[in-house]
């Protein structure tokens, strides 16, 4: 008898391939998605389909990689340099990413990008179909790189279960309609049975686009498309709470955290961690920090902004310009406000091992997230989990990050207002310990309960419910 399989599909496989002296090394990914889905795709005949993050040099290497990945239940979709440039760097990162993060002027509507985006989605569809799909299989597609894939698979497998989850926000209909290929993108997504987002606002924007652009009205968060009911729902993603909680309590992390605290002795540490991206509000954060130092000279030599920016997409002009502007502002603030041996900002443009990240979360008095737009933001949840054993620390969270809808006991900021950022930091560093513990306790409960495993569970439960309901309708 054929067994039920779960098929995960995302742009990247949860693995990194590195070539060291003619030998390929396969390194597991530590990302949130890989952790959440790890217990699923590694089981039985389940599989994960995606780009392995490496362009093979010849056919032999392709075969070797395919065979090796099969041992981990991973199926590679190999992409050429041209496809990566057009589909990933181009369409995904220079059209969808800016529009979905409210940066219309950054979008480059290049037809060639669109051609390659369609071509690669088709390649993913072929790789999926090659797996001899049956009606028992459940497919879960992830994120904006694969928005055409649900409908492509649907055309070949009319009744199969397909879920789609988008990790980034969905923009307003006015913004979304600027994309020349908006109809095709919406139709692509409507091939799924469930289209999931982090927040209610994203579902509203998506449903409104279906209404205004495709003339498809909605009832009870669902749309009828080609005689099928497609559900559009909220699934806020969580983290592996226990992993961050227990890592924070290890001897190695505690030792590192103490070293950080000693390095910044008598200073309140305000921590920020993000990928280099214009959506993360890094410039606004620096302006807010400078405003604080101007308004409150008494805080000089009492605080430090520990800012870790992880390199990302820095060959793209906007990202390079952002990086230069950060360098300039950090230099300016440190030069103007620095005093004696005190430097206001400790800035790192680098990627740290997870243990160091954990030590930073443990050592930080405040975690500052100032995204101008963020699907969810996992950094703030990791900070909360790392504080669970002591319940000290304060989270300052942008009201424009998806996480703000859940973590209502944080200090909320409007990241576009430098005064809002400055007064939030002021409030955070003066918050009495009792108040910190009260707020942190509530946040810990939320992050612990709605963890990544819960997220995976509720998504699949809902997909099964929806499918059962559809079957009842068709057999009536
Ligand atoms: C997208 C959406 C949504 C960061 N620096 C280092 C490092 N990190 C890890 C963090 C965290 C992850 O990267 C960043 O996650 P975010 O959620 O903050 O942001 P995006 O990468 O933009 O992710 C976002 C997410 O998808 C999930 O749906 O929340 O809104 O944009 O896990 O810990 N990890 C290590 N070293 C670093 O230096 N090891």
Convert the pLDDT of each residue in 65-84 to its tens digit.
999 999 999 999 999 999 99
Residue 264 DSSP code: T
pLDDT at 453: 93
In whole angstroms, how far apart are CA 432 and each of 99, 272, 336, 407?
A: 41, 22, 31, 19
Helices 182-189 and 200-214 sit at what angle, rounded to 10 degrees? 120
**Which among 141, 275, 359 is the best mutation to test ligand 1's pocket, defined by most ligand atoms within 8 Å of the CB?**
275
Convert the pLDDT of each residue in 251-300 to its tens digit.
999 999 999 999 999 999 999 999 999 999 999 999 999 999 999 999 99
Contacts of residue 472, Cβ cutoff 8 Å, sequence gap at least 6:
none
Cα 309 to Cα 273: distance, rounded to the nearest angstrom: 6
pLDDT at 4: 84
Q: How far is the CA of 249 from the centre of ligand 1 (A)?
A: 22
Residue nearest to atom 26 of ligand 1 (CA): 167
- Kindly tell me if the per-residue pLDDT of 474 is higher than 80: no
Q: Is 86 in the pocket of ligand 1 (CB under 6 A)?
A: no
Q: Is 371 in the pocket of ligand 1 (CB under 6 A)?
A: no
In whole angstroms, how far apart are CA 230 and each of 100, 126, 325, 362, 421?
A: 21, 23, 44, 43, 40
Extract the runs of DSSP E, i.e. beta strands, from 13-151. 15-20, 23-28, 47-51, 74-76, 138-142
Predicted structure pTM score: 0.96
Average pLDDT over residues 16-30: 87
Q: How far is the CA of 61 from the centre of ligand 1 (A)?
A: 31
Q: Is 95 in the pocket of ligand 1 (CB under 6 A)?
A: no
Q: Is 354 in the pocket of ligand 1 (CB under 6 A)?
A: yes
Convert the pLDDT of each residue in 107-128 to its tens digit.
999 999 999 999 999 999 999 9
Report which of 323, 369, 379, 371 is spatially closest to residue 350, judged by C-alpha positions.
Answer: 323
ipTM entry? 0.99
Q: Is 359 in the pocket of ligand 1 (CB under 6 A)?
A: no
Q: How far is the CA of 152 from the centre of ligand 1 (A)?
A: 29
Tokens 């930091």 identify what position? 425
Lowest mean per-residue pLDDT among 25-39, 55-69, 264-278, 374-388: 25-39
pLDDT at 42: 84
Average pLDDT over residues 344-365: 96
Atom index in ligand 1 nearest the CA of residue 239 equals 32
Q: How confident is the model at residue 472 (pLDDT cuts 50, 70, 90)?
A: low
């Amino acid at each position: 008898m054929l067994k039920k399989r779960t098929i995960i599909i995302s742009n990247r496989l949860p693995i990194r391939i590195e070539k060291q002296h003619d030998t390929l090394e396969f390194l597991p990914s530590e990302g949130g998605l890989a952790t959440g889905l790890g217990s699923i795709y590694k089981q039985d005949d389940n599989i994960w389909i995606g780009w392995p993050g490496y362009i093979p040099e010849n056919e032999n290497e392709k075969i070797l990689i395919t065979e090796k990945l099969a041992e981990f239940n991973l199926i590679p979709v190999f992409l050429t340099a041209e496809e990566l440039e057009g589909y990933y760097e181009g369409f995904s990162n220079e059209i969808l990413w800016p529009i979905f993060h409210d940066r219309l002027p950054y979008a480059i509507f290049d037809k060639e990008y669109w051609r390659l985006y369609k071509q690669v989605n088709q390649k993913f569809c072929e790789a999926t179909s090659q797996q001899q799909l049956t009606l028992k299989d459940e497919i879960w597609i992830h994120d904006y790189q694969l928005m055409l894939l649900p409908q492509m698979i649907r055309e070949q497998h009319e009744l199969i279960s397909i879920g789609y989850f988008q990790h980034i926000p969905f923009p307003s209909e006015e913004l979304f309609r600027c994309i020349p290929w908006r109809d095709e993108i919406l139709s692509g997504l409507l091939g799924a049975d469930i289209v999931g987002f982090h927040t209610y606002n994203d579902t509203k924007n998506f449903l409104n686009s279906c209404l205004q652009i495709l003339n498809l009205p909605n009832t009870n968060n669902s749309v009828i498309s080609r005689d099928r009911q497609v559900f559009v729902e909220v699934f806020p993603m969580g983290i592996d709470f226990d992993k961050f909680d227990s890592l924070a309590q290890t001897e190695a992390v505690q030792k590192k955290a103490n070293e950080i605290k000693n390095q910044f002795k008598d200073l309140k540490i305000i921590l920020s961690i993000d990928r280099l991206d214009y959506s993360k509000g890094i410039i606004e954060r620096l302006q807010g920090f400078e405003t604080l130092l101007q308004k409150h000279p008494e805080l000089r030599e009492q605080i430090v902004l520990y800012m870790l920016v992880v390199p990302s997409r820095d060959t793209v002009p906007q990202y390079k310009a952002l990086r230069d502007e950060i360098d300039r502002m950090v230099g300016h603030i440190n030069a103007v406000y620095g005093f004696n041996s005190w430097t206001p900002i400790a800035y790192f443009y680098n990627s740290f091992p997870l243990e160091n990240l954990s030590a930073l979360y443990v050592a930080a008095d405040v975690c500052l997230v100032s995204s101008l737009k963020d699907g969810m933001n996992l950094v703030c949840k990791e900070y909360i989990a790392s504080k669970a054993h002591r319940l000290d620390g304060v989270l300052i969270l942008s009201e424009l990050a998806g996480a703000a809808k859940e973590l209502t006991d944080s200090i909320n900021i409007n990241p576009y207002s430098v005064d809002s950022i400055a007064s939030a930091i002021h409030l955070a560093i003066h918050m009495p310990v009792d108040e910190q513990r009260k707020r942190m306790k509530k946040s810990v409960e939320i992050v612990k309960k709605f963890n990544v495993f819960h997220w995976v569970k509720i998504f699949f439960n809902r997909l099964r419910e929806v499918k059962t309901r559809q079957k009842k309708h068709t057999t009536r």
